[in-house]
Structure 1
Amino acid sequence: MSRLDSTGRREPFRAVLGFTFNHWARQPGQVAWVSGVTIAGTLAELFTPLYAGRLVDAVASGTGAADAALWALGAMMVLAAITVLGRHFAYVGLTTMTLRTMSDVAQESFARLQRFSTDWHANNFAGSTVRKITRGMWALDLLTDTILIALLPSLVILLGMTVLLAWHWPVMGLVVAVGAFVYIGLTLGLSLRFVAPAARLGNAWDTRLGGSLADAITCNPVVKAYGAEAREDRRLATVMAKWSLRTRRAWLRGTWSGTGQLVVLLALRAAVIGLVIWLWLKGQASAGDVAFVLTAYAVVHGYLRDVGQHVHNLQRSVNDMEELVAMHDLPYGVPDRTGAVAMGVTAGEIAFENVTFHYGSHHEPLYRDFSLTIQGGEKVGLVGRSGSGKTTFVKLVQRLYDLTAGRIAIDGQDIAEVTQESLRRQIAIVQQEPVLFHRSLAENIAYGRPGASLAQIEQAAMLANAHDFIVRLPKGYATMVGERGVKLSGGERQRVAIARAFLADAPVLILDEATSSLDSESEALIQEAMERLMEGRTTIVIAHRLSTVRAMDRILVFDRGRVVEEGPHEALLGVEGGAYRALFEKQVSELAKGLAV
């Protein structure tokens, strides 16, 4: 079982390395190839000091040992060529391997995000989430390079050189082994216990910084409307100051860590050089042996020095990937059940059967043992005060949340037993504030039916009273609408959303008061389009203005998760002291006051 940290999550290094190795396991051949050629190139470098020592001995012996000197030189050149080729092929293989892994991680992260619950998305900044993914992707690149191209050769060199030196002089091998062990232990301890906590906090503020930037940029129209540019500058400056403070601490800790590592390396250098000179003075080492040891130590020293940087990179990449990996550990808010099948809807009858539901943070359920049936093709309006359960009703129909008890069925099929994709294809939604992609108008209209032809898109736009304003645009249906449709007016966005629902041609339709904040001309066009859209479909209308539900077959009056009244408009108005009549009279009174002013 994985060890957990103080927050209940898997310990970061274990979690990140496990995540990385699981992705490597998808490419075993590529990993083996990169590792193999890296080790081959490193082993060639390992034996180079040995032949350097033989070359010095041959030169010291005089011209009679010319053949031995040339042979040693040739061996060194061959080893150098193997080292170069090994590194070259390792990087070529690593490029293919890393790009595939980064692509897999990005796509899988995006897929998970798309399937997280509505609550999760409501509670997380989009900018922060994007930052976690992009930072984690590039950290994965650094982590892969560090392990396969940096730490693996370092391990081969340290072990191999220690064995070679110990073969000639056991005490020399012991000195190098102890020095390397102390250096690596110190490096790991400083990185994991001293630098990593500060780096983790710095990354958390980096994520918050990204979220603050995205929040202000996304809401720029509101910023401009209130002349709040300077206020947002100050808000960002506050976040930036905290980010800078946390990041400075992490960087300074890294500097102190590096200095400590260099001190240990200097002590090891003095010990090795002093020992080989002592061996030479004792007659236990030739000039070539001294050259061998000095060359060997130069290689070891270089790798040990780099190990400090490699461990730092390892620690940094783990910190940078930590939030991404934690996101992959999160469960889906509402997963498809095992064996879920595709849903098929014909009549569109919706039945709530003894439904009990409460939001996770609430102690009391909103719905308790709630039952209700909407007949296929029936047009139903949902009215009631804010928080009475209207919006939750349609969210449960879409299965944005799972029930505490009971079931919801469409045409007798339990929506919890079908795939969410197939369920939501049977439901078209026009929201009060329609969301459009920063794509062309044609793409936005065809979102519910991606393969639709331009003729079908235009037909849907005509039914939605959107065609006329679209063809007046410079690029017509190819016009880009801006982020969230910002280039269009509210009425135009609504008509595009209605056109999208027309083209989706789903048997169940949900309308969230689409005319509540529009001018009278836009409202008339949209009301006409919605009446056409409702024909032949089971329709649920969330009504904030009661005038929009006059023509409904039935009106459901919600209060605290219960339907307290139901019936057509005229019948409910006739109920003396009824809840619907009270709501209606209040709205008429407020309208009269507004006209009087």
Structure 2
Amino acid sequence: MSRPDRTGRPEPFRAVLGFTFRHWARRPGPVGFVAGSMMAATVADLFMPVYAGRLVDAVAGEGASALDAALWSLAAMLALGAAGVVLRHLGFIGITGMTLRTMGDTASEAFARLQRFSTDWHANNFAGSTVRKITRGMWALDLLTDTILIALLPSVVVLLGSTVLLAWHWPAMGLVVLAGALIYVGVTVSLSLNYVAPAARLANSWDTRLGGSLADAISCNPVVKAYGAELREDARTAGVLAKWALRTRRTWVRGTTSGTAQQLVLLALRAAVIGLVIWLWANGQATPGDVAFVLTSYAVVHGYLRDVGQHVHNLQRSVNDMEELVAMHDQPYGVADTRGASAMAVTAGEIAFEDVTFHYGGHAQPLYRDFSLVIRAGEKVGLVGRSGSGKTTFVKLIQRLYDVTSGRIAIDGQDIAAVTQASLRAQIAIVQQEPVLFHRSLAENIAYGRPGASLAQIEQAARLANAHEFIMRLPKGYATLVGERGVKLSGGERQRVAIARAFLADAPILILDEATSSLDSESEALIQEAMERLMLGRTTIVVAHRLSTVRAMDRIIVFDRGVVVEEGPHEALLQRENGAYRGLFEKQVSELAKGLAV
């Protein structure tokens, strides 16, 4: 269990390593192969100085035996070198496949979690920042894997092995090398985790903000152009960039300072080792070959130690870069399927709110308190009321985009909290005020609710939605790409595509959320006609500000601050003196009359 930091989250270093090791545990074979290959290659490096020392002693001798010894030493060095090359090649090939699969798993799992996070989570997080967290975390996992298996593990083998070999001949030499290595590693780790890491973490947070700021401005470019605000957005981005650069510069400067301190420790260790071997030679305790052995061993140790500093830096950087991804992975969904949730099957489409209390997080007062309402199977219901009265929340609760605080919502007697969210939403077709389309073909967008639909079925749905004619006028017809969020289409065209999608989904429950509130008269007439077809035989809920769109409903429900203040058909509600619906209707008629007079 990771020790919590000051924010209550697990300590980042342990949390990230735990996350990484859990992924490795899925592939013990490849991980073991890579680790074994790299360790074996390192052992080959470890024994190279032994034969280098024997070669020097052989060269210093005379006669045929000296030549034989020299040639055997050379052959051993070449064999060790070849073995190291082959083993490292195998290790690199192994880690390539393993890392790619692990990165793919990490990205797909992060995406799967994101798709299932609550509506509130998505409303409070920039899409650009979220994408940046995932991509940065993926590549950090690659660096972390390389650092541990390809770099740090061989370094540990070299340091321990060299210490043992040197101590076997001269205990004092082994002690010096071990003490120096431990001091160096201690200084490196301490500086990286306590000095560089905090600055890097802050720099990463600003890197995330920068990604979010850029994505926000780019996705809202039509608004920027509409208000001639390019210079203002330039200045805003420049401000974010300035803070990002300040935080990043501090991280880089601290990294440089840490590197300089590491080099000073290495310089002191080099002086100690060379000074000691000279003293041993001067006192007759070491031959020229022994001196060559010590110097070559130290060269290997020095190289690995010098790289340890960079490896620890990479380890710290990858932990910082993965921290936000791991935190996202550990975050609860917000609205989750219950254990053992079953699939929902809707046969009629009756919707019942039973003593429902609900309030948004952070709000002291509930929007609904002990709220009960039944919409009969096949009934067409209009929801009206002032903004903030609870209409949109009503349909969001039916889709279980939020969980109720108490009470329950049932469809055909089935508690929607006890079924899977995917099966629930498959029973509901929704056409929103601002329909969202993917930057894919029109055919793909229409078939989104039924991916296996044929082109003939797609075209039939488009005809029912009065969309076929405008689609066929496009250069590529149903293969036309619609742009991000459907920006290449007009509002009316997007709306008709969304209605075609609802036709093809053929769900028993239909929700129309302000579907005609921002359209011209011609588009509204086409869409109204298509919606009337779509409502046939379905339980239908129409959320409307324009009261003309709900006149033909079987029942109109008037909301006010989460309470149903009136309900009934259009004509009956108009007959009520001082009625809430009548007041809303007369106000709209008056506003329309003023508009026509102007």
Deviations along 1:500-535, one digit per CA (max 9) or x if unpaired, are: 000000000000111111111101000000000001
After alignment, is 391-400 or 1-10 more displaced?
1-10
Q: CA deviation at 1:86?
A: 1.1
Give 1:213's aligned amino acid: L
Alignment correspondent of 1:298: 299
Give 1:38's aligned amino acid: M
Q: How far apart, CA to CA, are the structure 1 residues paired with 2:108 and 2:87? A: 32
Deviations along 1:369-419, one digit per CA (max 9) or x if unpaired, are: 111100000000001111111011000000011111111110111111111
Alignment correspondent of 1:166: 167
- Pair 1:565-2:531 in alignment: no
Alignment correspondent of 1:456: 457
Q: CA deviation at 1:192?
A: 0.1
Alignment correspondent of 1:232: 233
Q: CA deviation at 1:596?
A: 1.9
Give 2:450's aligned amino acid: R
- Pair 1:17-2:51 in alignment: no
Q: How far apart, CA to CA, are the structure 2 residues paired with 1:241 and 1:274? A: 50
Q: CA deviation at 1:594?
A: 1.6
Give 1:198's aligned amino acid: A
Deviations along 1:144-169, one digit per CA (max 9) or x if unpaired, are: 00000000000000000000000000
Q: CA deviation at 1:175?
A: 0.4
- Pair 1:78-2:79 in alignment: yes
SS in 2 for 1:154: helix
Q: How far apart, CA to CA, are the structure 2 residues paired with 1:513 and 1:366? A: 21
Report 1:471-490 matches (<5 A): 471-490=472-491
Give 1:7's aligned amino acid: T
Q: How far apart, CA to CA, are the structure 2 residues paired with 1:337 and 1:89? A: 46
Give 1:74's aligned amino acid: A
Q: How far apart, CA to CA, are the structure 1 residues paired with 2:240 and 2:593? A: 48
- Pair 1:493-2:498 in alignment: no
Q: How far apart, CA to CA, are the structure 1 residues paired with 2:437 and 2:467? A: 15
Give 1:403's aligned amino acid: V
- Pair 1:581-2:582 in alignment: yes
Give 1:58's aligned amino acid: A
Give 2:350's aligned amino acid: E
Report 1:81-120 matches (<5 A): 81-120=82-121
Q: CA deviation at 1:63?
A: 3.6
Q: How far apart, CA to CA, are the structure 1 residues paired with 2:389 and 2:521? A: 29
Q: How far apart, CA to CA, are the structure 1 residues paired with 2:108 and 2:72? A: 54
Give 1:6's aligned amino acid: R
Alignment correspondent of 1:6: 6
Deviations along 1:560-583, one digit per CA (max 9) or x if unpaired, are: 111010000111111101111111
Alignment correspondent of 1:527: 528
SS in 2 for 1:363: coil
Q: CA deviation at 1:266?
A: 0.4
Alignment correspondent of 1:127: 128
Give 2:442's aligned amino acid: L
Q: CA deviation at 1:354?
A: 0.7
Q: How far apart, CA to CA, are the structure 2 residues paired with 1:114 and 1:63? A: 78
Q: How far apart, CA to CA, are the structure 2 residues paired with 1:501 and 1:3? A: 50
SS in 2 for 1:335: coil
Report 1:16-415 matches (<5 A): 16-64=16-64, 65-415=66-416
Give 2:228's aligned amino acid: G
SS in 1 for 2:348: coil
Q: How far apart, CA to CA, are the structure 2 residues paired with 1:596 and 1:228? A: 35
Deviations along 1:422-449, one digit per CA (max 9) or x if unpaired, are: 0000000000000000000000000000
Q: How far apart, CA to CA, are the structure 1 residues paired with 2:391 and 2:595? A: 27
Q: CA deviation at 1:337?
A: 0.4
Q: How far apart, CA to CA, are the structure 2 residues paired with 1:37 and 1:120? A: 44
Q: How far apart, CA to CA, are the structure 1 residues paired with 2:307 and 2:82? A: 22
Q: CA deviation at 1:62?
A: 2.2
Give 1:40's aligned amino acid: A
Alignment correspondent of 1:505: 506
- Identical residues among aligned pairs (%): 82
After alignment, is 282-291 or 1-10 more displaced?
1-10
Give 2:91's aligned amino acid: A
Give 1:170's aligned amino acid: P
Deviations along 1:315-353, one digit per CA (max 9) or x if unpaired, are: 000000000000001001111001101111111000001
SS in 2 for 1:433: coil
User: Scaled by the length of structure 2, what TM-score is found?
Assistant: 0.99
After alignment, is 490-499 or 62-71 more displaced?
62-71
Computed over aligned residues only, the root mean square deviation of the Cα atoms, in angstroms, reads: 0.6
Q: How far apart, CA to CA, are the structure 2 residues paired with 1:43 and 1:301? A: 16
Give 1:595's aligned amino acid: L
Give 2:29's aligned amino acid: G
Q: How far apart, CA to CA, are the structure 2 residues paired with 1:133 and 1:63? A: 67
SS in 2 for 1:365: coil
SS in 2 for 1:383: strand
Q: How far apart, CA to CA, are the structure 2 residues paired with 1:437 and 1:40? A: 51
Give 2:6's aligned amino acid: S
SS in 2 for 1:53: helix
Q: CA deviation at 1:592?
A: 1.6
Q: CA deviation at 1:586?
A: 1.3
Q: How far apart, CA to CA, are the structure 2 residues paired with 1:327 and 1:56? A: 58
Q: How far apart, CA to CA, are the structure 1 residues paired with 2:389 and 2:524? A: 26
Q: CA deviation at 1:585?
A: 1.2
Q: How far apart, CA to CA, are the structure 1 residues paired with 2:323 and 2:314? A: 14
SS in 2 for 1:20: helix
SS in 2 for 1:421: helix
Q: CA deviation at 1:364?
A: 1.1
Unaligned runs of 5+ in 1: none
Q: How far apart, CA to CA, are the structure 2 residues paired with 1:63 and 1:295? A: 26
SS in 2 for 1:232: helix
Q: CA deviation at 1:2?
A: 1.8
Q: How far apart, CA to CA, are the structure 2 residues paired with 1:57 and 1:469? A: 90
Q: How far apart, CA to CA, are the structure 2 residues paired with 1:151 and 1:84? A: 18
SS in 1 for 2:507: coil
